[in-house]
Structure 1
Amino acid sequence: MSTASNTGTAILGAGIFAKEAHLPALQALGPLAPKLKAIYSRSEKSAREFAAEATTLLNATPDVYFDGNPSSNLDALLARSDISSVIIILPITQQPSIILKALAAGKHVLSEKPVSADVASGATLIAQYEAQFKPKGLVWRVAENHEAEPGHIAAGRAIAAGKIGKVIFFSSRAVNFIDQDSKWYKTPWRTVPDYQGGFLLDGGVHFVAALRVILPSAMTHLSGFASLNKDWLAPHDTINATIKAADGSHGTFELSFAAPSPSRSDAGGGIIITGTDGWLQVQQMQARDFVHNAEKRVFRITVKSATRDANGVLGPEKEEVIDEPIRGVEMEQASFFAALGGKDDGLGSPLGALKDVAVIEAALTSDGKLMDLEKLIGYF
């Protein structure tokens, strides 16, 4: 990727993920990212706190914008000619209107997942972008870091290379412990969610996106059940579903934020893909970085390939282990900024993100009925 142009970028939103993920990602990209020239938050206090952290990490002080003052509000930020792109990290139901506002101001947009609160509104948003703003050369991408994770991409490539044969079945299991003291739960817009699924939508699309990247064909049908097991995680906190893919493979999808204790989160999680000639597992874990003599979180991909002799007799398995550092936010930003320079690698497609929402929505509403995911999206 070439060095970013001199035009700047801005971050709209000053919450936890903006501070803990997007700022460090900009720092890691260095000159490959545009200069962060502005930050917007609804409150002046949060905007200034975020700007102070940005100054420390990036050695550049972004200008501060917030609601209540016409000279320093969002409209004023979007009117700046030296800012060509924005990264939007706002509550789910607020994002669509801000995405359209930024595009109408002529800005390229990277917006945090999910693409929308539901499939219908997401399809409308994408159609409006395709009709009004894409023809003007404006780029809109959805920031789904699990789609951009090198570990998930490596797993998909191993399957595409035939290392486990034809995919037969798969499983994805993610069980999370969320209590009322969690920093994620204490975020006000999550405490009383005004969108379907609560954490299942906000966090669940990550695990769907991982499957979307790894599986060799699209998920087409789903049947499942949803339930609420902890009142403070309303409207739902657990889904279990069976999914079919276009190539005839099928699998199970288990997602919950209602683990009774933290230890349950560590039991049997991850993705396993089974093929005719082997199987593959993807797990998050700690691994030793011997170069820097430190522990780091990685996605570990373990590939077990069956071998047979000339007579077809099963021999010893071949094993390959691939460790990829967790750096999805950095990679999604890099992909977005490269797209602004005309180098589109396909990551961050709004339609791809809509497919992730469709899986969650289908699981929430199925109640055992078979759901046609392509029909739900209404393919345009």
Structure 2
Amino acid sequence: MDHSPRIRIALLGAGGFATDAHLPAIAHNQDTLQLVALYSRSLKSATSLLDAARRLPSLASSADSISLYSDDHPDPQSHSLDALLDRTDIDAVALCLPIPAQPAIIRRCLSANKHVLSEKPLAPSLAEARALVQEYERDHAPRGVHWLVAEQFPYAPAWEKARDLVRQGKLGTLVGFDARVFIQPTLKAGATNWRRVPDYQGGFLLDGGVHFFAALRHVLSGSVSPSTSSPTELTALSAHVTQLDRALPPADTLRCLVSTSDPALSGTLTLSFGTPPPSSAKVYTFTGTDGVLSVDLGAGPRTVLLTLVSRAPEAEPNGAPLPPRRVEIELPAQTAVEREFAAFAGVILEGARDSEGAAGSAARVRSGPRAAMRDLAAVEGALKSGEREGDKVGLRELVGDEWWEVK
């Protein structure tokens, strides 16, 4: 694969998230990414995506050189997906496709020697994910082909800050965590048939749920488990799963008790896409021996609010008790996708210099295929536990010992 000063990337998929998130993220990273092609199943939607690119200042001047590919193109021989993947001047692809369609397309892209950034989850089920990861690690990674999963939560400033506060000991020793997330999907987000009539497990719980387990995974990794002397991991859960909204089959709500690799640390997570208003909390709370940290995702339309309440300092002898210390940190909520695309570019450029190092390692821990399998395992484990009336399900057993370690 030859290389130009920038990574030449194609965007596959033209739905709402491709338009609203992937396209602006590529535009934001114009110093490292050059958009050269767009693909969609229909030429109409590919053309609409190109029109959206023309409206972005950093892409407008080069929009005329962006090639369109589709399944119904009038010239299918030279404008099919295969034709796109045959191009030697395309280095990488970003996939923003429906969940069931992704594994087959990921395989085609990897086999075509393209670096891949694929949307979460990496597959509809763990069985498909394991087969895909095995194939990637056996056949493609040794050739220097990189694959990351577009799970943006570990790249979000708020979750990164929360992890740092835990890692720095600002909460003391973690003793518990609780998360309550109630989301009513917008008409735009929920109207598509592949979400309202899903042909994959869990429906919206799989589609959106991996985000919220990824956030928990990332923050807890800042704490060292005394029993393993390693970053704390989610290890098992016991869940109740139900459907509250008839339009979101087969389930839209889960409530679970989450165990970790630290025997003294556990917590709860409630996630619902079906609970009606006014329930709208989107708050994680991490409790430690020296403080409590809350991460409020619903504090504002474009910001996330972190609040750290620390143990009160010792009062002077015969002095009045001092109040706990309270610090509020407001961080942007809209930059995570831009940051994950920047990380993807960084991994490719690092590999091109024959020096796989910090960028690749950090990205794999955040959103490599094995890390993404853990998030998928958490949702699949919750669904299995729900089917078994709350029986505890071990996540490592679901993923398999061979595939558990993130590397």
Q: TM-score higher than 0.5 here?
A: yes
**Distance in 2 of aligned mates of 1:42 and 1:27:** 23
Report deviation, 1:271. 0.4
Partner of 2:30: 30
**Distance in 2 of aligned mates of 1:357 and 1:200:** 10
**Distance in 2 of aligned mates of 1:164 and 1:6:** 42
Report deviation, 1:173. 1.1
**Distance in 2 of aligned mates of 1:5 and 1:334:** 15
**2:25 counterpart SS class:** helix
Partner of 2:296: 283
- AA aligned to 1:63 is S
Deviations 1:156-178 (A, max 9, x none): 00011000111111011111113
**1:341 counterpart SS class:** helix
Report deviation, 1:311. 9.9
Report deviation, 1:337. 0.4
**Distance in 1 of aligned mates of 2:42 and 2:179:** 39
Corresponding residue to 1:348 among 357, 364, 367: 367
Asked if 1:377 is matched to 2:399, the reply is yes
Runs of 4+ in 1 over 6 A off after TM superposition: 310-314
Partner of 1:154: 161
**Distance in 1 of aligned mates of 2:304 and 2:257:** 24
Asked if 1:64 is matched to 2:68, the reply is yes
**1:45 counterpart SS class:** helix
**Distance in 2 of aligned mates of 1:234 and 1:17:** 21
Partner of 2:14: 14
Partner of 2:347: 339
Corresponding residue to 2:272 among 256, 271, 275: 256
**1:83 counterpart SS class:** coil
Corresponding residue to 2:129 among 122, 131, 136: 122
Report deviation, 1:308. 4.3
- AA aligned to 1:364 is L
Native 8 Å contact 1:220 1:373 kept in 2: yes
Describe how 1:181-200 pairs up with structure 2 within 5 A. Answer: 182-200=187-205
Partner of 1:329: 337
Report deviation, 1:307. 3.7
**2:256 counterpart SS class:** strand
Native 8 Å contact 2:92 2:116 kept in 1: yes
**Distance in 1 of aligned mates of 2:376 and 2:114:** 25
Native 8 Å contact 2:7 2:345 kept in 1: no
**Distance in 1 of aligned mates of 2:298 and 2:200:** 31
Native 8 Å contact 2:14 2:49 kept in 1: yes
Report deviation, 1:7. 3.9
- AA aligned to 1:26 is I
- AA aligned to 1:105 is A
Corresponding residue to 2:114 among 91, 104, 107: 107
Partner of 1:293: none
Q: Which runs of 5+ in 1 are unaligned?
A: 288-295
Report deviation, 1:315. 4.4
Instruction: Considering Cα pairs closer than 8 Å and 6+ residues apart, tell me whether 1 or 2 has the greater RCO.
Output: 1
**Distance in 1 of aligned mates of 2:53 and 2:114:** 21
Describe how 1:72-221 pairs up with structure 2 within 5 A. Answer: 72-178=79-185, 182-215=187-220, 216=223, 217-221=232-236
Report deviation, 1:243. 0.3
Alpha-carbon RMSD across the aligned residues, in angstroms, is 1.9
- AA aligned to 2:215 is A
Deviations 1:36-72 (A, max 9, x none): 0000000010001101111221122221000141210
- AA aligned to 1:167 is L
- AA aligned to 1:253 is L
- AA aligned to 2:28 is A
Native 8 Å contact 1:223 1:241 kept in 2: yes
Native 8 Å contact 2:303 2:332 kept in 1: yes
- Equivalent pairs: percent with the same residue? 39
Native 8 Å contact 1:7 1:82 kept in 2: no
**Distance in 1 of aligned mates of 2:147 and 2:15:** 21
**Distance in 2 of aligned mates of 1:7 and 1:245:** 39
Corresponding residue to 2:249 among 234, 237, 251: 234
Report deviation, 1:310. 8.9
**1:82 counterpart SS class:** coil
Report deviation, 1:151. 0.7
**Distance in 2 of aligned mates of 1:315 and 1:121:** 56
Native 8 Å contact 1:5 1:34 kept in 2: no
Report deviation, 1:371. 0.6
**Distance in 2 of aligned mates of 1:258 and 1:100:** 34
Report deviation, 1:29. 2.2
Partner of 2:227: none
Question: 1:100–1:128: structure 2 CA closer, same or farther, 3 Å change rule?
Answer: same
Deviations 1:273-297 (A, max 9, x none): 001111100012456xxxxxxxx61
Deviates more, 1:74-83 or 1:304-313: 304-313
**Distance in 2 of aligned mates of 1:5 and 1:321:** 41
Q: Which runs of 5+ in 2 are unaligned?
A: 224-231, 351-358, 403-407
Report deviation, 1:303. 1.1
**Distance in 2 of aligned mates of 1:198 and 1:7:** 34
Report deviation, 1:16. 0.2
Partner of 1:290: none
* Count of matched residue pairs: 363
Native 8 Å contact 1:285 1:297 kept in 2: no
